[in-house]
């Protein structure tokens, strides 16, 4: 592939975009729910709760079976996070075609980055455990920029571009927070139809949509 590729930087969301983390998230969420004597939730439902951080995921799962007690959330959060961290990367496969797409992008000299609403230390550890951390120039988490500055704000996207040395960027994600952050930052976005969608992918407002990572590079060339 020629180096006249239209983007210098390609950023990715993590859960539901790079990795199918629904198995691990469901396991840890159900561990916490069991401690709270609440019914378990299935993996399909977990996919609808991902994207705004672990606390939001727990609160929504609790709300599905009654009132949300803030004291209970505070009590169960450490158990959820500890269980999740202990099992990071144990059952978290990349989506089909991803690794080949990342290889092809890297071969052009494109800088790769991750911007997620997961806590930064968990995102870094997860990518390390699955052997992918070295592919990315930077990993920006939901707590990296400080309170109120995670996606859908533009701040982490601007930070991604700065840390990668500047240049033309695009962002890949599976939620309205991803596409909104990209739009706010003034860059194009690509939505993945196979991610943890909270709404029809056509409603995310992305510049383009892909159904498989085999489509990523031609799509980026087209929108660039």
Cis ω on the peptide bond leading into residue 152 (within 30° of 0)? yes
- Own/partner pairs for 97-105, CB < 8 Å, 24+ apart? 97/212, 97/213, 97/214, 97/216, 98/18, 98/213, 100/213, 100/214, 101/213, 101/214, 101/216, 101/217, 102/135, 104/1, 104/217, 105/5, 105/10, 105/216, 105/217
Q: Give yes or no: 13 in active site.
A: yes
Bridge partners (DSSP) listed for residue 15? 19
8 Å CB contact between 45 and 120: no
Phi and psi for 52 in degrees, rounded to 5?
-120, 20
8 Å CB contact between 117 and 51: yes
Helix (H) or strand (E) holding 62, with range, is helix 54-63
Bridge partners (DSSP) listed for residue 115? 140
- The DSSP call for residue 15 is B
**Of the residues 4, 13, 20, 178, which is catalytic?**
13
- Active-site residues: which are they? 13
């Amino acid at each position: 592939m020629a180096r006249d590729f239209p983007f210098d930087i390609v950023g990715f969301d993590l859960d539901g975009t790079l990795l199918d983390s629904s198995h691990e998230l469901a396991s840890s969420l159900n561990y916490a729910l069991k401690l709270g004597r609440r019914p378990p939730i299935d993996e399909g439902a977990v996919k609808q709760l991902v994207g705004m951080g672990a606390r939001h995921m727990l609160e929504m799962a609790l709300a599905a079976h009654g009132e949300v007690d803030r004291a209970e959330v505070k009590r169960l959060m450490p158990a959820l996070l500890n269980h999740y961290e202990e099992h990071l990367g144990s059952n978290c496969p990349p989506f089909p075609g991803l690794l080949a797409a990342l290889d092809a992008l890297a071969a052009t000299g494109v800088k790769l980055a991750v911007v997620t609403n997961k806590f930064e230390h968990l995102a870094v550890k997860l990518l390390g455990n699955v052997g992918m951390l070295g592919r990315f120039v930077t990993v920006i988490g939901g707590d990296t920029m400080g309170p109120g500055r995670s996606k859908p704000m533009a701040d982490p996207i601007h930070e991604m571009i700065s840390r990668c040395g500047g240049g033309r960027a695009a962002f890949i994600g599976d939620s309205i927070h991803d596409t909104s952050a990209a739009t706010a930052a003034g860059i194009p976005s690509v939505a993945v139809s196979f991610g943890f969608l909270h709404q029809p992918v056509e409603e995310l407002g992305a510049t383009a949509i892909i159904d498989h990572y085999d489509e990523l590079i031609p799509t980026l060339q087209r929108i660039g």
